[in-house]
Structure 1
Amino acid sequence: MAWSWPEIKQKLQCPKDEDAQYENTTWCNRDLIPTPPDRRTYGVWSYFGYWTVSGSCISAWSTGSTLLAFGLSPQQAIAVVVVGGILAGLLAVACGWMGENHHIGFTVSSRFSWGMRGSYFPVVLRVFVSCMWFGMQAFWGGQATRVMIGAIIPGFAHMPNYFASGSHLQTKDFIGLLIWMCAFIPGLLIRPEKLQVPFIICFTFFCGSCFGLLIWAVSQAHGPGIMFQKPGSAPNVGWAFMFGITAILGSWGSGTLGQSDWTRYAKRRFAPTLSQLIASPLTIAATATIGIIVTSASRDIMGGEIQWNPIYLLADIQDFYGSSPGVRAAVFFASIGMVFSQFSISVVLNSVSCGMDMAGLWPRYINIRRGGYIMACVGIAVQPWQLLSTAEKFLSVLSGFGVFMAPATGIMLADYHIVRKHELKIGDLYTGDSSSIYWFADGVNWRAFVAFVAGMWPLIPGLVATVNSYSEDEWTGWIRLYNLTFLIGLAMSFIVFWMLSCVFPPPGLGQESSFSGDETLYGVSKLDDTKEPTVQGEERNRQPVVLSEIFILFVQSF
């Protein structure tokens, strides 16, 4: 006898822990509840592993291109990276505090600032950005895989293209993407609390790639290269320095905003702090410095245009030396580091956070793992190769999403640290009715939306001017504001939210309770009418297995 529709819906719900004292509801599942002690597996060194893969990546390597474009000299750019890395670490401490203390992630913590229903707004913003960036990171991962295969099979590096020219995708890139995705998808099966060893492996390989390229470049160019010696061209070094700092903060802004997604796994208090304050600036600064030196020296060695992307640089090196066996071996091992780097950064900054955000949108049926698979499908479906090749304006807008992330960060910091003073009624974060102090007006906290608009609107004209390449003479003030996006947006929203909360205090200030208090058992109110009726277990006659049952059993495994 086939299962009935209520039974099918019950079977498709997210898996629960054995002897779980919570239910999958509109607001709760295994990945949204405060992390239980047995899943808090991250110590001090585990967070060093997290920050090494977050700070040592291709994005950090290419940071010099942005800073030098502001007119800074390489030495000034390195100083900016150090200062920006320190500030990013301090911001990560502030944003990760609630995860470390209350063991909840950004998805749940946004509910006390935006309201139970209003929290969908920042969550959807992050889901959109994560899916878009994952598609691009996956494409670069595919290209790193293509370079790796091309080092083994030189003919593959120059494989004829069988796709139409309008597709903006070459056959070898597509094969590399398929292989990279086949390796990445099983990686989503690893739960966030078990990722420490993969972090170490990825960091080790990427470090080998970075230092290998550094040794080659400096030895062959007999120094850091001519570009490294050039003076800065910025008419105002102070403004350029500030632009550089906010560029660093913007690059790691989404990661710091969702820092509680990772600090919730801390074994003890302050376990993440040391890595945030030391590993963050150290890894970002070291990777960016190596990127500047290698890019400068490689231009002197091989000539041609400046190549900031290390993946493309490896392919150029193989061609420059005529695919000799020794060079192919070096390129192979170096490209492995790039492949692992794209894997780790896609997990750290995309899949886990995006999966948790998607879980917040539909907790009964989506958890971190399922959300990661949805993100992977959407990220590839948008055809990132088309975006990277043709949609320059779209990429500019996507890069400018700090306009929205910065105000969201300011709201969260003001509410948690100043307005609520770290006091939360945890059970109410899982109660979707007016009995929750975080219900506000129909589930929406208007203060957050007003503060968000206040922090966002001064930056929009500069974003429009930058995307459309308007004349800087006429738009100088707006463009300068936009170049300070993260600082301005965060400060404006912080101040406005704080002032509104002083004039119109939100309900429940000073109230504090644990997860299972106030007639709420692990996030499920005894009066919660949003639960679907549980299908009563009843003896079923043994029947031949149908396709729907196979599909359900497959989904339940995630």
Structure 2
Amino acid sequence: MKVWLVDIIRNPENLSWAERLEVPSDEGRNYKVDQWCNRDLIPIPKERRTYTTMSYFGYWTVSGACVSAWTIGSTMLSYGLNAKQAIACVVVGSLLTGLLAISCGWMGEMYQIGFTVSSRYSYGFYGSYIPVVIRSFIACMWFGMQAYWGGQATRNLIGAIIPGFIDGSLANEFSGSSHLAKNDFIGLCIWGIFFCYFLTIPPERMQIPFYVSFVFFVGTCFGLLGWAVSVAGGAGPLFHSKATTTGSVGWGVMFGITALIGSWGAGCLGQSDWTRYAKTRYAPTLSQMIAAPMTIIVTAIIGVIVTSASYTVFDELVWNPIQLIPRIQQHYHSSPGARAGCFFASIGLVTAQMTISVVLNSVSTGMDLSGLCPKYINIRRGGYLMAAIGILCQPWQLLATAAKFLTVLSGFGIFVAPMTGVMLADFFVARKMKLRVCDLYRTHDSIYWLGEEGNWRGGFNWRGFVSAALGTAFLMPGLIAAAGPYSIASGWSRLYNLTFIVGTAISFAVSCTLNYFFPTPGNGLVAPFIEEDIISARFSSAGEGSNDEGKEPYSVQVDSV
């Protein structure tokens, strides 16, 4: 039982309302809950590191085999690429995504810390709030999209049992401009209730839901693939059509690759949020090298084939499987066989949306929000807050058309890519993978404070902000033009089409340069997380000497570097 709960039960009159709202902590804890630390922010101790290589394969079966992977390939068809070109984009983009996931997750494997804490050495203690807020907002937007799809999948599930739920008056929108039907809203509410329950499962115990979701979703994918190829007599006409992109095909292909990397960019940026649960070193690496690209490629290719083949039936591109299922049911006039098939297909989509929302959204966002206010927000509470913000962003407006969908994905990359470049340059090049983890949880005598104690400017690392700003600046004209009817030189638009690659490369190069000419103090020093120092907020002279040597007592060990 948690200490805070015991205190309330035994001595409720001794606790103020503020104290009762503080996040729970472990009984017998040897860390202090304060402005920079709580149970979800500390390096994961050995007893909570439960993820093996197979666990991370399960993670990527959820992250890669999902509706987002299905739609990214088929959405490229809506952009004007033909099916073969879309598949080529998927293959190249997925391989790059796997490499990016390995790089971004490396610090989690070594030091068991996530993006929230690692931002403190790249941007400063107070400066880390800015990238954390940006990533949290992006994740909230992503959750809103995933939740809306989850609500539609739930609508399909109910509609397979009660056909009138799809065909009747509940299918009407609230208003012409809302893009939200009444049955979608009901499905979203039901799906949201079950999602709130899933938030109660600790991240270290999510392996079984991973596998269950994968089995159901794979059944849905291959079921739709078999139906589409059967009715079309093959892969469909789009495999033989010419590209209709505006401008050269090459730039269209590059835009498709960048859109895919941007789709998983925010998730890759936060890979350390999950790799820190690794039971052994290098456990996540094999899954990131193999399962990440494999699951994305297979799912997206199935999506492309089904979209192409179903074109012969509906005479239009239905690029989202959640929209395809009710079309199939209506095409067969809600026959018993069609309803049964749609029912089981919807189960796979509902479970996939549930687990992907937990895996790629709630855990990372919960930890980010926890970093903003560790005393009162943990991963679970942050997940609830994320859900509220995501729904208030009205994702149904963003997903109204395929064009808007791709614009949103690329727009996310303009902020995520520079943060990725800064993180990789700072960790691998400037600091050579060496960190004093204990200094990431206190400002007193911390090498990452970068100033005198009490001087607010010491809480900001200007190198990170300059690097990220320059990585964003070169992409901003293209984003402005894409978001509105503005005319700019074609070079800016083409640069924007390479958002993730260009943004990461520029910020990486600038960060390496600034850290070379203006190095931060303490580079090359290594020390693990030390609870005794967190509690006392000071080092003894003998203790500081033993920290750099890596001697006991430590509850979390750092692998040699």
TM-score by length of 1: 0.89
Report the Cα offset of residue 6 of structure 1: 5.5
Structure 1 position 485 matched with structure 2 position 496: no
Q: Secondary structure at the match of 2:375?
A: coil
Q: Are 1:84 and 2:78 counterparts?
A: no
Confirm or deny: 8 A CA contact 2:259 2:406 kept in the other structure: no
**Corresponding residue SS for 1:60:** helix
**Cα contact 2:258–2:410 (8 A) shared by 1:** no
Aligned pair count reads 521
Report the CA distance between 1:299 and its aligned residue: 1.2
- Aligned partner (choices 263, 275, 280) of residue 275 of structure 2: 263
Q: C-alpha displacement at 1:394, in angstroms?
A: 10
Q: Aligned partner of 1:299: which letter?
A: Y
Partner residue, 2:264: 252
* Dislocated runs of 4+, deviation >4 Å: 1-6, 386-395
Query: SS of 2:133's equivalent?
Result: helix
36-45 vs 440-449, greater mean Cα deviation: 440-449
- Are 1:312 and 2:323 an aligned pair? yes
Tell me the distance in 1 between the aligned counterparts of 2:88 and 2:522: 45
Would you say 1:453 and 2:469 are equivalent positions?
Answer: yes
1:75 aligns with 2:75: no
Q: Name 2:486's counterpart in structure 1.
A: 470
Q: Which amino acid aligns with 2:362?
A: S
Q: Provide the rounded CA distance (Å) in 1 between the counterparts of 2:174 and 2:517.
A: 61
Distance 2:14 2:508 in 1: 48
State the secondary structure of the residue aligned to 2:489. Answer: helix
Partner of 2:522: 508
Where do 1:269-308 residues align within 5 Å?
A: 269-300=281-312, 302-308=313-319
Residues 232-287 of structure 1: CA distance to partner in whole angstroms, max 9, x if unpaired? 34554443333222222111100100000000000111100111011111111111
Partner Cα separation in structure 2 for residue 189 and residue 52 of structure 1: 21
Deviations 1:9-63 (A, max 9, x none): 2222111112110111100000000000011010001000111111111111111
Output one character per residue of 1:312-344: Cα deviation in whole Å (capped at 9) or x when no partner. 100000000000000100000001111111111
Out of 189, 192, 199, the position equivalent to 1:181 is 192
Task: Say which is worse superposed, 461-470 or 209-218, in terms of deviation.
Answer: 461-470
Q: 1:163 to 1:232 in 2, by over 3 A?
A: closer
Call closer, same or farther: CA 1:393–1:57 in 2, change over 3 Å: closer
Retained in 2: the 8 A contact 1:137–1:342?
Answer: yes
C-alpha separation in 2, matches of 1:229 and 1:392: 23
Contact 1:70 1:243 in 2 (8 A): no
> What secondary structure is seen at the aligned counterpart in 1 of 2:529?
coil
Mapped to 1, the partners of 2:106 and 2:538 lie a distance apart of: 31
Separation in 2, partners of 1:525, 1:457: 43
Q: Kindly indicate whether the alpha-carbon contact (under 8 Å) linking 1:388 and 1:395 is maintained by their aligned counterparts in 2.
A: no
Residues 163 and 479 from structure 1, CA distance in 2 versus in 1: closer, same or farther, beyond 3 angstroms?
closer
Q: Which residue of 1 aligns with 2:159?
A: 150
TM-score (normalizing by structure 2)? 0.89
- CA separation in 1, counterparts of 2:499 and 2:393? 27
CA RMSD, Structure 1 to Structure 2 (Å)? 2.2
Task: Using the TM superposition, name which of 136-145 and 412-421 deviates more.
Answer: 136-145
Q: Distance in 1 between matches of 2:54 and 2:389?
A: 33
- Name the CA shift for 1:242/1:381 in 2 (closer, same or farther; >3 Å): closer
Q: Name 1:349's counterpart in structure 2.
A: 360
Task: Name the structure 2 match of 1:165.
Answer: 175
Give the equivalent residue in structure 1 for 2:553. none
Equivalent AA in structure 1 for residue 175 of structure 2: S
Q: For 2:348 and 2:458, how far apart are their aligned partners in 1?
A: 50
Instruction: Indicate the residue corresponding to 2:338 in structure 1.
Output: 327
* Aligned twin of 1:439: 449
Structure-to-structure mapping, 1:290-439, within 5 angstroms: 290-300=302-312, 302-389=313-400, 396=407, 399-433=410-444, 435-439=445-449
Contact 1:431 1:525 in 2 (8 A): no
For 2:471 and 2:237, locate their aligned partners in 1 and report how far apart those are by CA, in whole Å.
42
Classify the secondary structure of the residue corresponding to 1:521: helix
Secondary structure, aligned partner of 1:62: helix
Structure-2 change in CA distance of 1:168 and 1:273 (3 Å): same
Give the whole-Å Cα distance in 2 for the aligned partners of 1:76 and 1:137.
26
The structure 2 residue matched to 1:496, chosen from 489, 510, 516, is 510
- Structure 2 stretches lacking a partner, 5+ long: 1-9, 451-456, 540-561
- Alignment check: 8 A CA contact 2:74 2:86 kept: no
**Mean alpha-carbon deviation: is it higher for 100-109 or for 170-179?**
170-179
Report the CA distance between 1:345 and its aligned residue.
1.2
d(CA) in 1 for partners of 2:55, 2:33: 30
- 1:503-548 per-residue CA deviation (whole Å, 9 max, x = no partner) reads 10111111111101xxx626444349xxxxxxxxxxxxxxxxxxxx
Change (3 A) 1:66 1:390: closer
